[in-house]
Amino acid sequence: MPWREVSAMEQRREFVRLAMMEGANRRELCRRFGISPEVGYKWLARAQAGDGDLADRSRRPHGSPGRTDGVIEAAVLAVRQAHPAWGARKIKAWLEARGTAAPAVSTVHEILRRHGRIEPFPEAPGKAWTRFERSEPNELWQMDFKGWVRLAGGQRCHPLTVLDDHSRFSPALRACADQQSVTVQAHLEQAFRRHGLPRAFFVDNGPPWGSSWDQASGERWTRLAVWLLKLGVRVLYSRPYHPQSRGKIERFHRSLAAEVFALRTFDSLAEVQRAFDRWRETYNHERPHEALGQTCPASRYRPSPRTMPDRLPSPEYDAEDIVRTVSTTKAYVRFNGRLWPVPKAFRGERLALRPLHRDGQYGVFFASHPVAFIDLTNPKTVSHVSEQVSAMSPV
């Protein structure tokens, strides 16, 4: 059913934003949003004609050459009022992008300070650091759960955040009741159908993507990772105790806390989600980003050409592979008259057993990915092997 998620207005705004990006495949976007090309082009034409009903646009007048200093000062304060967490650089960039001859950053800062809106600049700046980013959109998405927030009624909200590493564009920002894999997968599928598939995800070592780390194998095979692997999306893990490697999404969390949660309390997850939808649109399409030269993330983002398939692909194996299907209840494969443990994430999946260089040794593969190791010279059978201390190790 078209326009079925969140609200029709939010859907139309998101469609128009993506469709107006350079190189966008508009008919493919119509298919992803579940609307006909006629409907899609109708909303695109209305947006290009300045139809104000598509989005909640500011009615604040733009700048003009005849503006007085008092008018400019009022404009600065109005932007600060609308975005209390924005500093002088963002306010200046936002005004200039809308045709206002904004004063210098120091002057904007002084206006804010004089009206008691911010504290003076700190005397000792922080240590400089170097930024790293992928060269193209959708090469890498970062994903994390921001720390949970308690709502007015006592319920916990777990914000799921997804960020494109190159552009800082946020394909998804969801108010979740838990941090379960099924919850994450449902929201990712929605993002994939709208924005396409990334090449890889970068996550930390916590649940639900890193919670099933096996000390014996050194792998973090989870049902979520297996699902992503079927879609051709790799999962990359950050080094433990090195949060600086995930600085972009940590900075995104700080902005989310300062610009959404620090300003109000919420009664329900639905109310949080409505606030997320409004803030994500501002963040992606309006909010100047210092790391992007004070442009917005949408200026550097393009939808991925890799479309979410209607049916989840399954791995294909060669005729010479020894193929085994893992039980849906027990994480074992039968080979050479014995049972061999495999990671629990592969229950119900088809795996290939391939001989290695040494006699009696086989690798267990999911497509081309090694997931376990079999050594026929090991006298132990499954009854002698603890599920916590596996006899297998990565190939």
pLDDT tens digits along 182-229? 999 999 999 999 999 999 999 887 778 765 544 444 556 889 989 999
Buried b (16+ CB within 10 A) or exposed e, 361-372: ebbbbbbebbbb
- Residue 66 in domain: no
Q: Give 350: exposed, middle or buried? Use CB within 10 Å, 0-12, 13-18, 19+.
A: middle
Structure confidence by residue, pLDDT tens digits, 17-76: 898 888 889 889 898 888 898 888 888 888 888 775 665 445 555 554 544 477 888 888
Residues 359 and 287 in one domain: no
Residues 214 and 281 in one domain: yes
Question: Domain containing 286 — which CATH number?
Answer: 3.30.420.10
Residues 334 and 205 in one domain: no
C-alpha 70/C-alpha 336 separation (Å) is 85
Residues 218 and 288 in one domain: yes
Residues 213 and 291 in one domain: yes
Residues 295 and 219 in one domain: yes
Residues 199 and 342 in one domain: no
Domain stops at, among 245, 265, 299: 299
- Residue 119 in domain: no
Residues 379 and 286 in one domain: no
- Residue 117 in domain: no
Residues 148 and 183 in one domain: yes
C-alpha 14/C-alpha 109 separation (Å) is 33
C-alpha 18/C-alpha 301 separation (Å) is 9
Q: Crossing angle, helix 69-82 and helix 88-97, to 10 degrees?
A: 110
- Residue 89 in domain: no
DSSP code per residue over 309-324: PSS-------TTSEEE
Residue 167: band (very low, low, confident or very high) from pLDDT cuts 50, 70, 90: very high
- Residue 316 in domain: no
**DSSP class of 239:** P
Total structural domains in the chain? 3
Closest among 279, 281, 258 to 84, alpha carbons compared: 258
- Residue 291 in domain: yes
Peptide bond into 208 cis (omega under 30): yes
Residues 354 and 293 in one domain: no
Domain stops at, among 268, 299, 330: 299
- Residue 46 in domain: yes
pLDDT (mean) for 84-91: 78
Domain stops at, among 247, 265, 299: 299
Could you tell me the sign of the dihedral formed by the alpha carbons of 220, 221, 224, 228, in that order?
positive
Structure confidence by residue, pLDDT tens digits, 312-336: 988 999 999 999 999 999 999 999 9
Residues 145 and 293 in one domain: yes
The domain in which residue 23 lies consists of: 8-54
**What pLDDT, on a 0 to 100 scale, did the predictor assign at position 219?**
57
- Residue 83 in domain: no
**What pLDDT, on a 0 to 100 scale, did the predictor assign at position 294?**
80
Residues 152 and 220 in one domain: yes
Q: Name residues whose C-beta falls within 8 Å of residue 136's C-beta, 6 or more positions apart in sequence.
A: 166
